[in-house]
């Protein structure tokens, strides 16, 4: 398969943003192709929980929660640093329209997902305003889609059993892909995009590589790049100062290395890189990976000095940024006791087998805290003092050092029975310590775009025919992760706005 093929729209990537844009373009009668580098569609989006931060929609209204566009505007005004007001307004105005258009199709509907937002600020909705696509059974999907959707993270990374009901991000990807294929869209896998085809300053297609040689896919209306960030590219991470490591990113292997971003830069696209990512604590794995971890129920995190440095129940991106703030925090050790039978008292995706961790040394176990210190290399006096102090906070119900348990988010996952649900003592031997690294759910610097998703040059002019969304574009939220579903929600909105522009 070499030569040249003609479409109206070429969508690069197959995550939640890409597939939203692809379906909308196809629905508008534009002949659209999704071009995916790997053999599976969905990327990190398929690993995700599928939460979408799309405020003010009919779904929140149906659920009867106190969400509104105005409330979300207040919230973003309180939490964003240095926002682009035009893009924020475009996001707010278009979120409800997008959800209405999606739900008008039989192929997808959403439900409210209780999951606290990440900041205690004006406009916050109790237990959050994120929405999630409903589950879908594998048997209800077109065979092509069922075969192509990337498995959930536990299966893809740790070989755990697959499921016949797709939920979260898998449901989002599968549902959108099914709608796209049903409406005549084409999905092409194992086809890495290597660059753009241009004519007189306009992007008119993409260049891609097949095993048989290069191919050009022409796009009469435009190219939408929604192909992740550069989280899997060690060189780019180092150049742009992104903390963490390629080995610790949650993006699936062989996916997001940023060539579509590089190729746009070669055409003069402006970037806003600022070393940004969607960060999280990563449970170190015996194979060198790091598993996204959230929802600590008990235990405490210490740095190389044996001291705590933050509220362990902070929203994961905020905790990740605390980890990134000092070199002695990576790796950290998460110290916990045996109250959950030797399992990690948190949600880790995937957790891995405790015995395999112990054999590999990513976890250690000892009957005493002194023994744990010896096994980890942490200073014994400091570790004992830290745990003793922490256990004192559990008795009083107040974390005098970091305020753990004071915010709604802190107690969302924690089910302790003491005076503070988020403060459970670490006092049941044997004790364990798990090594933690700084993981990410993707980078979020990228191509500078306007409110219509058009890729801009340094002088603010648009590169005709080229659009970007998802982690390929610099995030509308900047350094902030406002709440669950912010990556997918913003990706979907700006992909949709891009299609509106290129279809007009």
Ligand X SMILES: Cc1cc2nc3c(=O)[nH]c(=O)nc-3n(C[C@H](O)[C@H](O)[C@H](O)COP(=O)(O)OP(=O)(O)OC[C@H]3O[C@@H](n4cnc5c(N)ncnc54)[C@H](O)[C@@H]3O)c2cc1C
Q: Which residues bind ligand X (CB under 6 A)?
A: 12-18, 35-38, 43-45, 47-51, 153, 169, 192-193, 226-228, 250-251, 255-256, 259-260, 278, 292, 349, 441-442, 470-471, 484-488, 491
Output b/e per residue, 225-254; b: 16+ Cβ within 10 A. bbbbbbbbbeebbeebebbbbbbbbbbbee
Angstrom distance (rounded) from CA 49 to CA 55:
17
Cα–Cα distances (Å) from 141 to 95, 118, 135, 245, 383, in that order, read 26, 34, 12, 36, 52
Q: Which is nearer to ligand X, 376 or 475 (CB)?
A: 475
DSSP of 37-74: SSSSB-HHHHHS---B--TT-HHHHHHT-S--HHHHHH
Q: Which is nearer to ligand X, 187 or 387 (CB)?
A: 187
Q: Which is nearer to ligand X, 405 or 485 (CB)?
A: 485
Residue 121: how many CA atoms within 13 Å on its side-chain side? 15
Q: Which is nearer to ligand X, 282 or 306 (CB)?
A: 282
CB of 485 to ligand X, least distance (A): 4
CB of 410 to ligand X, least distance (A): 19
Beta-carbon contacts of residue 127 (< 8 Å; ≥ 6 apart): 65, 114, 115, 116, 408, 412
Region at 29 (left for phi over 0; alpha for psi -120 to 50; beta for the rest): left
CB of 156 to ligand X, least distance (A): 10
Which H or E run includes 253? none
Q: Which is nearer to ligand X, 48 or 424 (CB)?
A: 48
Q: Which is nearer to ligand X, 14 or 420 (CB)?
A: 14
Q: Which is nearer to ligand X, 432 or 469 (CB)?
A: 469
Angstrom distance (rounded) from CA 409 to CA 295:
9
CB of 175 to ligand X, least distance (A): 15
Which H or E run includes 225? strand 213-225
Q: Residue written as tokens 């998703």? A: 453
Q: Which is nearer to ligand X, 191 or 378 (CB)?
A: 191
CB of 459 to ligand X, least distance (A): 26
8 A C-beta contact, residue 487 and residue 87: no
- Classified as helix, coil or strand, 452 is coil
Encoding tokens for residue 214?
A: 């290069």
Angle between helix 369-376 and helix 380-396 axes, rounded to 10 deg: 130
Beta-carbon contacts of residue 122 (< 8 Å; ≥ 6 apart): 74, 75, 77, 78
Residue 313: how many CA atoms within 13 Å on its side-chain side? 27
3-state helix, strand, coil in the chain (%, to 5): 35, 25, 40
CB of 424 to ligand X, least distance (A): 25
Region at 419 (left for phi over 0; alpha for psi -120 to 50; beta for the rest): alpha
Q: Which is nearer to ligand X, 50 or 289 (CB)?
A: 50
Angstrom distance (rounded) from CA 449 to CA 272:
10
Q: Which is nearer to ligand X, 47 or 75 (CB)?
A: 47
Q: Which is nearer to ligand X, 304 or 448 (CB)?
A: 448
CB of 257 to ligand X, least distance (A): 6
User: 470, 76, 495: which is closest to 258 by C-alpha?
Assistant: 470
Angstrom distance (rounded) from CA 269 to CA 262:
9
CB of 124 to ligand X, least distance (A): 17
Q: Which is nearer to ligand X, 92 or 369 (CB)?
A: 92
Output b/e per residue, 383-394; b: 16+ Cβ within 10 A. bbebbeebeebb
CB of 45 to ligand X, least distance (A): 3
Angstrom distance (rounded) from CA 187 to CA 178:
10
CB of 498 to ligand X, least distance (A): 13
Which H or E run includes 206? strand 202-210
CB of 12 to ligand X, least distance (A): 5
CB of 241 to ligand X, least distance (A): 19
Q: Which is nearer to ligand X, 11 or 378 (CB)?
A: 11
């Amino acid at each position: 398969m070499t030569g040249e093929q003609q479409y109206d729209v070429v969508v690069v990537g197959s995550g939640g943003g890409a597939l939203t844009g692809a379906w909308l373009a196809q629905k508008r009668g534009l002949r659209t192709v999704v071009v995916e580098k790997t053999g599976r569609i969905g990327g990190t989006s398929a690993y995700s929980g599928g939460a979408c931060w799309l405020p003010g929609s009919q779904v929140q209204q149906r659920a009867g929660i106190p969400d509104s566009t105005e409330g979300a505007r207040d919230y973003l005004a309180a939490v964003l640093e240095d926002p682009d007001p035009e893009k924020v307004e475009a996001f707010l105005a278009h979120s409800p329209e997008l959800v209405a258009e999606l739900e008008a199709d039989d192929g997808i509907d959403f439900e409210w997902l209780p999951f606290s937002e990440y900041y205690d600020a004006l406009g916050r909705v109790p237990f959050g305003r994120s929405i999630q696509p409903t589950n879908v059974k594998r048997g209800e999907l077109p065979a092509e889609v069922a075969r192509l959707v990337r498995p959930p993270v536990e299966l893809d990374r740790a070989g755990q059993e697959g499921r016949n009901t797709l939920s979260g991000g898998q449901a989002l990807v599968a549902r959108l892909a099914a709608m796209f294929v049903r409406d005549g869209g084409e999905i092409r896998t194992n086809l890495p995009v290597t660059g753009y085809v241009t004519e007189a300053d306009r992007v008119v297609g993409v260049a891609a590589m097949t095993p048989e040689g290069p191919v050009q896919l022409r796009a009469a209306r435009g190219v939408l790049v929604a192909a992740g960030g550069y989280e899997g590219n060690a060189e780019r991470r180092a150049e742009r100062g992104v903390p963490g490591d390629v080995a610790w990113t949650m993006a699936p292997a062989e996916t997001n290395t940023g060539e579509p971003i590089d190729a746009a830069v070669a055409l003069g696209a402006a970037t806003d890189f600022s070393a940004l990512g969607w960060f999280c604590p990563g449970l170190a794995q015996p194979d060198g990976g790091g598993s996204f971890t959230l929802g600590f129920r008990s235990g405490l995190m210490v740095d190389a000095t044996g001291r705590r440095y933050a509220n362990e129940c902070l929203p994961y991106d905020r905790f990740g940024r605390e980890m990134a703030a000092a070199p002695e925090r990576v790796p950290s050790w998460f110290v916990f006791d045996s109250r959950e039978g030797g399992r990690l008292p948190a949600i880790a995706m995937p957790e891995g087998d405790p015995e395999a961790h112990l054999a590999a040394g990513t976890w250690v176990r000892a009957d005493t805290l002194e023994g744990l210190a010896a096994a980890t290399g942490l200073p014994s006096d400091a570790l004992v003092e830290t745990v003793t102090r922490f256990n004192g906070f559990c008795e009083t119900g107040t974390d005098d050092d970091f305020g753990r348990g004071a915010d709604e988010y802190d107690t969302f996952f924690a089910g302790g029975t003491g005076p503070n649900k988020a403060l459970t003592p670490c006092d049941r031997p044997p004790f364990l310590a798990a090594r933690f690294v700084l993981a990410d759910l993707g980078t979020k610097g990228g191509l500078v775009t306007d409110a219509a998703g058009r890729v801009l040059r340094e002088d603010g002019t648009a590169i005709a025919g080229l659009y970007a969304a998802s982690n390929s574009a610099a995030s509308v939220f900047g350094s902030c992760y406002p709440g669950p579903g912010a990556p997918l929600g913003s990706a979907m909105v700006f992909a949709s706005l891009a299609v509106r522009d290129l279809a007009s």
